Structure 1
Amino acid sequence: MTTTAHDITKRTSIGAQRNPASEEAILTAAAEILREGGLSAFSIEAVARRAKAGKPTIYRWWPSKAALLLDIYHRQKGETFYPDTGSTREDLIAFLETLLGFWKTSGGEVFRSIIAEAQSDPAALGALRDYAVTRCRASGIILERGVTRGEIREALDIPLVMELFSSFCWQRLLTGRLDPSRDQMAHVVDAVLTGFAAKDRAAQ
């Protein structure tokens, strides 16, 4: 059985009701600019020219460049699946492998740009914050299944714990180290699942 992020949360449009044809033209133009010229060539002005759309329309639907980049990022990523292997440990390792693998092959540059935009643009920061919260809630299905199976204790702040795993991936992305070994990822998962304290200290 697999669960997708789309099953858990559905993205909502920003601003006024979007015209599907215009939205498709804008997203297609934006993706083409990124593919042809990279992030240095990407701007709202360039997207408006390519899509033959007005800048006010783009800003009404995407209030920042980062918001538009997030939608492009979603297109690249497609549906997010959280495989159910029957083991929370294996599901978490697969989560890390899948996210880091995607960033290494295609989506990492776009997501780094979104994070960079968020450092100086409040609208971009808001878009990134909303995205991060949504993703941690969605990926929490991994731990929720563990609770159901009796592998994970109840009353756990699941989104907060999933933020630990996402933070590991973000830090690896921002420092250009997207190739940890499976053993290293398993070590991170085991450390969180079992805790860090020595047994005699934990009993005190």
Structure 2
Amino acid sequence: MTPTTASPESRTSVGARRSEATEVAVLEAFAALLAEVGYAAITMEAVAKRARAGKATVYRWWPGKAHIALSLISQAKLELTAPQGASLREDLIDYMTRVVGLWRGDSGLPVGVLVRHCYAEAWSDPALAAALQAERRERWTMLNDILQAAMERGELPQETDLARAKDFAMSWPFYLLMTDRLPAPEEIARMVDDTLGGLRAGSSRRPSPDI
């Protein structure tokens, strides 16, 4: 995944609204530096210089490099296309295959590296943690639709708690991401089958009230 190309001219923000050209240039610069030097060596100053943008402008819209990484994660999710809706199993295999592929970097940008660093830095950055959770909820809209459609087809009980179901469905792949053990493409179907067993068993029990 490569951000849309912007003009090589020096970019600045436009009033209180982020300049689209600046955003594209900053994301492109960050992605290029990630490939060249790795996440740990990236600095905001290097991003600004590479993007031909003012350092103050970059800091105005991205408080730190993890926030730029989060913007790239958000952009990457746009590559995910909706499954065909044939069955819950087929839809989950399709969805998980695409998500794991993005994390692995099949489209060029290793999104999984960015996700791991964002979650690590979020422990000490409340603003980043809040932004990450907001993006997490938005990114899981497609998974919500998959599970909702399965309920409408009768593949899941009507009383299924979608929030808990999403957490359950993503817990295994996310754990493998965070431990740098992403499943190979041929392993995803089995992972989905095991997940479905737990989903159907768990959805038959009403969740306990929060305490």
Task: State the TM-score, normalizing by the size of structure 2.
Answer: 0.76
Indicate the residue corresponding to 1:174 in structure 2.
178
1:139 to 143, 150, 164: 143
Aligned pairs (5 A) from 1:14-53: 16-53=16-53
1:18-167 equivalences under 5 Å are 18-105=18-105, 106-167=110-171
Distance in 1, Cα, partners of 2:57 & 2:203: 51
Q: What is the RMSD computed on CA atoms of the aligned residues?
A: 2.4
Deviation at 1:143, TM superposition (A): 0.9
The answer (yes or no) to whether the contact 2:44–2:65 under 8 Å persists in 1 is yes
Q: Deviation string for 1:39-89 (max 9, x for gaps)?
A: 122121211121122232222222332221012234445421231241112
Could you say which residue in structure 2 is the equivalent of 1:192?
199
Could you say if the C-alpha distance between residues 95 and 190 of structure 1 is closer, same or farther in structure 2, counting changes exceeding 3 Å? farther
Structure having the higher helix fraction is 1
User: Which residue identity lines up with residue 194 of structure 2 in the other structure?
Assistant: H
User: 1:155 Cα shift?
Assistant: 4.0
Contact kept? 1:27, 1:72, Cα under 8 Å: yes
2:121 partner letter: E
Deviations 1:91-128 (A, max 9, x none): 12322232223322332112111111112222221121
Are the aligned partners of 1:101 and 1:178 in contact in 2 as well (CA < 8 Å)?
Answer: no
Q: 1:83 to 1:21 in 2, by over 3 A?
A: same
% identical aligned pairs: 36
Question: Structure 1 stretch 68-77 or stretch 115-124: which is displaced more?
Answer: 68-77
Instruction: Give the CA deviation at 1:193.
Output: 2.1
Cα distance in structure 1, aligned partners of 2:169 and 2:124? 25
Classify 1:164/1:17 alpha carbon distance in 2 versus 1 (closer, same or farther; 3 Å). same
Provide the TM-score with structure 1 as the length reference: 0.78
Secondary structure of the residue that 2:79 maps to in structure 1?
coil
Runs in 1 of length 4+ with deviation above 6 angstroms? Answer: none
Higher RCO (CA-CA < 8 Å; seq separation 6+): 1
| Structure 2 unmatched runs, 5+ | 1-14, 205-211
Deviation at 1:195, TM superposition (A): 3.7
